[in-house]
Amino acid sequence: MSRRRGLTDSVRGFIFDVDGVIADTAVLHTAAWRRLAAEEGLPFDENLADQLRGVSRSESLRILLGDVKVSPERFEELAARKNSYYGECLSSLTEADVLPGVRSLMDALSSRGVRIAAVSVSRNARTVLIHTRMIDAFDIVIDGNDLPRFNPTLNRFQHAARLLRVEPGACVVVEDSATGVAAARAAGMRSVGIGDADRLCVATVAVDSLRDIDAARLLTWLSPNARHRPSAAFCSSR
Ligand code: GL1
Ligand code: MG
């Protein structure tokens, strides 16, 4: 079997998404969008919720509005209202909201000398990391507030790799969204998809959760020539 171009056996960087990976905040975003949609009489279902996962606030609102045209002022008001609904939930987040398996995997990776980043398109991601007491566990943190000042020709994971000083082929992205997994792939990185395998079709490895995931076994699954890896069924290209 041929080795995939650019991927190395040694993994030297791990890049964790925040919402739905470090804490279960993806469901809080969904609840806030659902509440806004209900108030505005806009359709909202599980399919749409999945489409919005991992997508920035303004892009999410554009998707939610569909063909409905609004003025720039009203657009801002709707985005701010959604953010205020999300903010109501944020204040009650604590370290008990860190998802199972996250800390032990990060500890095991750190002890192997792997550099670790938190990267999110959410402008609230730093706040999530502060409330859950995870902020100091990362070598670098990038959130939605940082993205506008980055070179737009590189995606957020490529920026993280540069800041970690690890080449993309030695980085692994942990993501719960299809858009995030696609961005990792575009950056030339392997990925661990968390959650519904159908949504994470192109992830290198797909698992329900990080609970009980052993770091050594995970690194074996991520090896370019792994013979076995848990992945999404019915997906041919990875
Ligand atoms: C934005 C969206 C959320 C979610 C996150 C990424 O967060 O609004 O629905 O997709 O990006 O996980 P925020 O509004 O906090 O910038
Ligand atoms: Mg996410």
Q: What distance in angstroms lies between residue 209's CA and the mean position of ligand 2's atoms? A: 13
Of all protein residues, whose CA lies closest to atom 14 belonging to ligand 1? 57
Count Cβ atoms within 10 A of the Cβ of residue 8 and give its class: 0-12 exposed, 13-18 middle, 19 or more buried.
Answer: middle
Same fold flag, 3-24+98-222 and 26-90: no
What is the domain partition of the chain in residue ranges?
A: 3-24+98-222, 26-90
Distance 72 CA to ligand 1 centre (A): 19
Fold of the CATH domain 3-24+98-222: Rossmann fold (3.40.50)
What's the fold here for domain 26-90? DNA polymerase; domain 1 (1.10.150)
CA 238 to chain centroid, in Å, comes to: 18
By three-state DSSP, how is residue 102 classified?
Answer: helix
Residue 103 near residue 116 (C-beta atoms within 8 A): no
Contact between 128 and 18 under an 8 Å Cβ cutoff? The reply is yes
Q: Is 130:153 a contact under the CB 8 Å cutoff? A: no
Q: pTM for the whole thing?
A: 0.93
Binning pLDDT at 50, 70 and 90, where does residue 93 land? very high
**Residue 193, both tokens:** 């998809």
Q: Is 176 one of the catalytic residues?
A: no
pLDDT digits (tens, 9 = 90+) for 11-63: 999 999 999 999 999 999 999 999 999 999 999 999 999 999 999 999 999 99
Decide if 50 is catalytic: no
Q: Which amino acid is at 25?
A: T
pLDDT at 233 over 50: no
